[in-house]
Structure 1
Amino acid sequence: MGGPLNVGIVGLGRISGAYLRTFAALPQIEVTALADLDPARAEAARAAAPGARALPVADLLAAPDVDLVLNLTVPAAHAEVAAAALAAGKHVYGEKPLALDTAQARELLAAAGELRVGCAPDTVLGTGTQTARKAVADGLIGRPVAANAVFVSPGHESWHPDPEFYYRPGGGPLLDMGPYYLSALVHLLGPVERVLGATSRSRPTRTIGSGPRAGTVFDVEVDTHVAGILVHTSGAITTLVTSFDVVASTQPRIEVHGSAGSLAVPDPNGFDGEVRLRHPGEPDWTVLPPSAGYVGAARGAGVADLAAALAEGRPHRASADLALHVLDVMQTLLAAGRSGGAREVETACEVPQPVALAQL
């Protein structure tokens, strides 16, 4: 493939600004078209992509100067928009989750043919997770035996002006934040083969706390606290907690423990951060310098990696196979939590290629 990858963006909500800022600094990406159900939002986004046209969704999908559709719609629309883009002969990269369920996700992969399907999160491609991954691969903690992963918050309604979708099907703390944690865990420890889980819902409604709709009460339709045990094919066991029911916490984001040491991994919702190592008998943690990953990466790194993969004829790292497996793990964990007991995860995936230390 010669020249930049031409990208059309569908969905110009809050997250789109982060992608547009990244793309503005990457010559390998050219944003050519913008579409949103609210035409005014698409028009306003042109300030960050001056060469792009604001179009209806159907026109964007048909545009000859769009090679890849970046799908930034709400979770409930992810599969529908991605399927339409594939039918129009476009590569697709979308925000997480890949679809609302694995059945939808499998249909997308089956429809893709030779087209590429990528999916966030791409935070795992930064120096944080990749430096931690290299430390594990280099044997700095010996044989990995366990991990703990914790995301807890009181919920997004205190700051988000339109938070309802976080509490509808496709939302909840696991489907919202779990992809960051599970994608990082797959990079660190490999795919998951079995899960045990428990879930709860603390209250039936939530109240918007800021913005023009402050005080609006809305229904909670999903579980808001999910705890699980994940058994990896490598033999390592992860304890995972995701919650919208916790006021505050001092627990670390991710730790990986091995036969010869422990590793503290930075926030998987970020691209960098300190990776810390501690061996038996040492009085304190040692900060490891960045040794792998895209330096200075930000939202959109996965699209840039996909563009490079097309040019180099290699698999892209923020792959649909990984996204399908992460979605399957989350669905299986939720089902296990509601029914009790352990459940086998149906899918597996190849662990994406590591990222050498390099500028994006």
Structure 2
Amino acid sequence: MERLGIGIIGCGNISSAYLKAMASFPILDIRGIADLNRGLADQRAAEFNVPAREISELLADPAIEIIVNLTVPKAHVAVAMQALEAGKHTYSEKPLGIDFAEGKKLADFAAARNLRIGAAPDTFLGGSHQTAREIIDSGALGQPVGGTATFMCPGHERWHPNPDFYYEIGGGPMLDMGPYYITDLVNLLGPVAQVAGFAVAPRKERVITSEPRNGERIPVHVPTHVAGVMAFRNGAVVQIGMSFDVAGHKHVPLEIYGTEGTLIVPDPNHFGGQVEFLRKGGAFEPRETTEPYADGNYRSLGVADMAHAIRSNRPHRANGSLALHVLEVMEAFHKAAETGTTVHITTETERPAPLSESLIDDRIGR
């Protein structure tokens, strides 16, 4: 299959994972990377043996078909709009935008130009999550009834060198970590119908304990502890907790409950992990993961799938409809907290097609 030209904008912390993983996918041809900080782009270019270029060059290059947008959340939509205006498909880091209104504007802009948008996370395509999906689709769980989704930590200022954006508008635990959990839940259960929730910010500033800014104080502009409930269109009701304020906990990342059993799903921030299944009346048993992409960090799998989809003229899995739906759900928790009401979700999306074969073989994934 003909390779597809990729241009990367944004050379921050996450770019290394993308650049490393992209080497796994023959269809991806990295034509250049760029950043407003040219020195950072040069550093990544030397590290991964790819050309550093200006943003304007990437947008003007006819050999580049997809712009991979790895900027900070508040720049996601602006950079993606530039890419679309230049006639490029675009794939962004999560979240799609910092609020639903700008995400919808981006989706409408892309549709009007017959261009594709995609967005992380793509971890739901990992082998463990596809194995969990297979168990649900087989009917072994019975009728889905509910579940729990939990991410709780003391905050990202412990490890990230520049954690400011996690506490700015567009950040916080729901918009930062929520995409992994909610996207995987939509993959497993389908779209969300309603949301109820509460959100608080116990501290108005945080102290950085990572280097090189250890001891510096940064302001908090978003809720840092969010708890709520999602009612899915299939009838399942899932509790969720996302926090940057918890010292430690004993919850597993995801549990799905059905009339015939319970499913333990591993951390949706990773592609692999142990899936466990309990049949009613039995005990939890590990399930072997036979699907691909469970043995490493494949960030850019969504980009590779998008490239194959463009070449094969089929829908891509980490698509704009899915990302926009997840963004609306995440924003709904904050709306529910502010208004004290249940928020109805307006967007429709479909569960992405299962991924059971490797995209490394260019004949696969069509």
| Shared fold, TM over 0.5 | yes
Q: CA RMSD in A?
A: 1.3
The Cα offsets for residues 308-356 of structure 1, whole Å up to 9 and x where unpaired, read as 1112111000000000000000111111012212111111211111112
Aligned residue number for residue 30 of structure 1? 29
Deviation at 1:236, TM superposition (A): 0.3
Give 1:306's aligned amino acid.
Answer: M
For residues 268-279 of structure 1, the aligned pairs below 5 Å read 268-279=268-279
- The alignment covers a number of residue pairs equal to 357
Distance in 1 between the 2:15 and 2:306 partners? 18
Which position in structure 1 is the counterpart of 2:66? 68
SS of corresponding position for 1:27 = coil
Quote how far apart the aligned CAs of 1:294 are. 3.9
Which residue, 95, 119, 124 being the options, matches 1:97? 95
Equivalent-residue separation in structure 2 for 1:329 and 1:233 (angstroms) = 13
Gaps of 5+ in 1: none
Equivalent residue, structure 1, for 2:156: 156
Within a 5 Å distance, the mapping from 1:139-178 to structure 2 comes to: 139-178=139-178
Match for 2:74: what amino acid?
Answer: A
Runs of at least 5 residues in structure 2 that lack an aligned partner in the other structure: 361-366
More displaced, 339-348 or 80-89? 339-348
Q: 1:211 and 1:167 mapped to 2: Cα distance?
A: 18
Question: Secondary structure of 1:299's match?
Answer: coil
Aligned pairs for 1:203-218 (under 5 A) are 203-218=203-218
Q: Distance in 2 between matches of 1:141 and 1:40?
A: 52
> Secondary structure of the equivalent of 1:67?
strand
Asked if 2 retains the 8 angstrom alpha-carbon contact of 1:20 and 1:48, the reply is: no
Give the 3 Å change call, closer, same or farther, for CA 289–140 of structure 1 in structure 2. same
Report SS of the residue matched to 2:157.
coil
Question: Residues of 2 paired with 1:215 and 1:230: CA distance?
Answer: 38
SS at structure 1 position matched to 2:252: coil
- Determine the structure 1 residue equivalent to 2:187: 187
Shift of 1:114: 1.9
List structure 1 runs of 4+ shifted beyond 6 angstroms.
Answer: none
Structure 2 residue aligned with 1:86: 84
Q: What is aligned with 1:109?
A: 107
State which drifts further: 164-173 or 37-46: 37-46
Deviates more, 1:75-84 or 1:337-346: 337-346
Q: Which one-letter code corresponds to 2:128 in the other structure?
A: G
TM normalised by structure 1 equals 0.96
How far apart in 2 are the matches of 1:292 and 1:54?
35
Indicate conservation of the 8 Å contact 1:134/1:292, yes or no. no
Contact 1:147 1:239 in 2 (8 A): yes
Question: CA contact under 8 A between 1:193 and 1:348: conserved in structure 2?
Answer: no
Q: Which residue of 2 is the match for residue 353 of structure 1?
A: 353
Alpha-carbon distance in structure 1 between the residues aligned to 2:137 and 2:348: 20
8 A contact 1:132–1:265 mirrored in 2: yes
SS at match of 1:54: coil
Whether the aligned pair in 1 keeps the contact of 2:121 and 2:179 (CA below 8 Å) is: yes
Q: Contact 2:2–2:311 (CA<8 Å) still a contact in 1?
A: no
Q: Partner residue of 2:363? A: none
Query: Does the CA contact (< 8 Å) of 1:295 and 1:358 recur in 2?
Result: no
Contact 2:263 2:278 in 1 (8 A): yes
8 Å Cα contact 1:294/1:355 also seen in 2? no
Aligned to 1:223: 223
Q: Percent identity over the alignment?
A: 44
Give the secondary-structure state (helix, strand or coil) at the position aligned to 1:247.
coil
Matched, 1:196 2:233: no
Q: 2-side partners of 1:333 and 1:86: how far apart?
A: 30
Q: Aligned equivalents of 1:324 and 1:228: distance in 2?
A: 19
1:18 aligned partner: 17
- Work out whether residues 183 and 326 of structure 1, in 8 Å CA contact, stay in contact via their aligned partners in 2: yes
Shift of 1:291: 4.0
- C-alpha distance in structure 1 between counterparts of 2:357 and 2:239, whole Å: 29
Contact 1:21 1:48 in 2 (8 A): no
Cα distance 1:359–1:28, how it changes in 2: closer, same or farther (>3 A)?
closer
Q: Secondary structure at the match of 1:98?
A: coil
